[in-house]
Amino acid sequence: MRTLILDSSVIIKWFKFKDESKVKEAKYFLTEFRNKKLRIIISQLTYFELLNISAFDSNIPVNEWQNIIQVLFDIDFTLLSLTYNLAQDTYSIAKKFKISAYDASYIALAKTHKVDFITADQKLVTKVDLPFVKLL
C-alpha cells in the first residue's frame, strides 16, 4: 500500500469546489484511500488548518462545514502527534527554507517516514525544491 502525506490545501478540495482547481486530482487520493490502495498520514495540525479555512470561508454554510468536519473525523487517517524529533526537524526545515513551521512540519513528516508530501501550494514546492515535496 502506498503512503503519502497530504496537507489541508489538498484535503479541502475534497469538499470545496467553487473556484477550486485540481479538484479531480485531489479526489483521486480520496478514492485511492477508500479503495484501500493508499494510506494517508496527517498531523493534528491538519484538522486545525481545515477548521481555520472553514471559519473564514463565507461560501460554505455553517451546517455544511459541520458535515465536512464529521466526515473528516470519520476518515481513518493515520494521525501523528508532534514528537521531540519531529519538532527538531520542523524547526531546522523552517529555518533552512525560511518557511512557516506549519509547512515545515509536513515536510518533516514526509522526510521522517520517507514518503512523498503532496500540496497544492506552488510557492512552497518551488521554494523548498525537494524531490519528495510534490505539487498536486
Domain count, the chain: 1
* Mean pLDDT, rounded, of the chain: 93
Question: Taking residues 27-46, what's their average pLDDT?
Answer: 95
Phi and psi angles of residue 95, each rounded to the nearest 5 degrees, phi first: -65, -45
Which helix (H) or strand (E) segment holds residue 40: the answer is strand 38-43
Please tell me the distance from the alpha carbon of residue 63 to that of residue 55, in angstroms, as a whole number. 12
- Cβ atoms of residues 69 and 87 within 8 Å: no
Please tell me the distance from the alpha carbon of residue 43 to that of residue 109, in angstroms, as a whole number. 8
CA atoms within 13 A on the CB side of 26: 19
Lowest average pLDDT, out of 32-46, 64-78, 100-114, goes to: 64-78
Give the residue, 107 or 14, on which the prediction is more confident: 107
Question: Taking residues 4-8, what's their average pLDDT?
Answer: 97
Question: Taking residues 118-126, what's their average pLDDT?
Answer: 98
- Indicate if the pLDDT at residue 87 is higher than 90: yes
Edge-to-edge, what's the strand order for the sheet holding 78-80? 78-80, 38-43, 2-6, 116-119, 133-135
Phi and psi angles of residue 13, each rounded to the nearest 5 degrees, phi first: -70, -15
pLDDT of the residue at 119: 98
β-pairing, 133-135 with 2-6?
unpaired
pLDDT-based confidence at residue 51 (cuts at 50, 70, 90): confident
Q: Is the pTM of this model over 0.85?
A: yes
Grid coordinates standing for 98?
A: 525560511
The CATH number for 81's domain is: 3.40.50.1010
Domain span at residue 49?
2-135
Largest pairwise CA distance in the chain: 41
Question: Taking residues 10-31, what's their average pLDDT?
Answer: 88
pLDDT-based confidence at residue 17 (cuts at 50, 70, 90): low
